[in-house]
Amino acid sequence: MAPRLPDLAKRSLKTALDDLGHVMERVHTHALKQRMSPDAFRATVAGLGFSSMREFCDRTGLPESTIESWLRFGLSHDAAQLLNAMMSYRNRVKEAIEAADSATNAGIADFFEERRLP
């Protein structure tokens, strides 16, 4: 934290009055809005096709400390929205692949399954 203090001080000097509203919204979103529970987080990660939290951590590039915090306290509203968007996108792609497979018998799902894409 100490190496960040000078950066924080510099940014604080450049903070405009308009930024205060954004800061307050960020605090409100992070601290007061409904969080995704650790169980829902685990289920979403599994639903995204990851075999473990370790794989999720490695494949997304998130630090292990972030994953551990989410497993203990849940995800903030913003992070949960992003994760849910990933799940929604995955489901749409999966449905499109299944539709293409049933129409063409090209085996797209088998192609992706072999490469273990979530």
- Residues whose CB is less than 8 angstroms from the CB of residue 86 and which lie 6 or more positions away in sequence, other chains included: 48
Give every CB contact of residue 71 below 8 A, 6+ residues apart in sequence. 38, 41, 42, 53
Q: Is the pTM of this model over 0.75?
A: no
Q: What does the pLDDT profile of the chain (118 residues) look like in tens digits?
A: 455 667 766 776 666 667 777 777 777 777 778 899 999 999 999 999 999 999 999 999 999 999 999 999 999 988 999 999 999 999 999 998 888 877 776 566 666 665 554 5
Locate the domains of the chain by residue range: 1-32, 34-115
Length of the chain, in residues: 118
CB 50 within 8 A of CB 83: no
Say how many C-beta atoms besides its own lie within 10 A of residue 54's C-beta.
Answer: 11
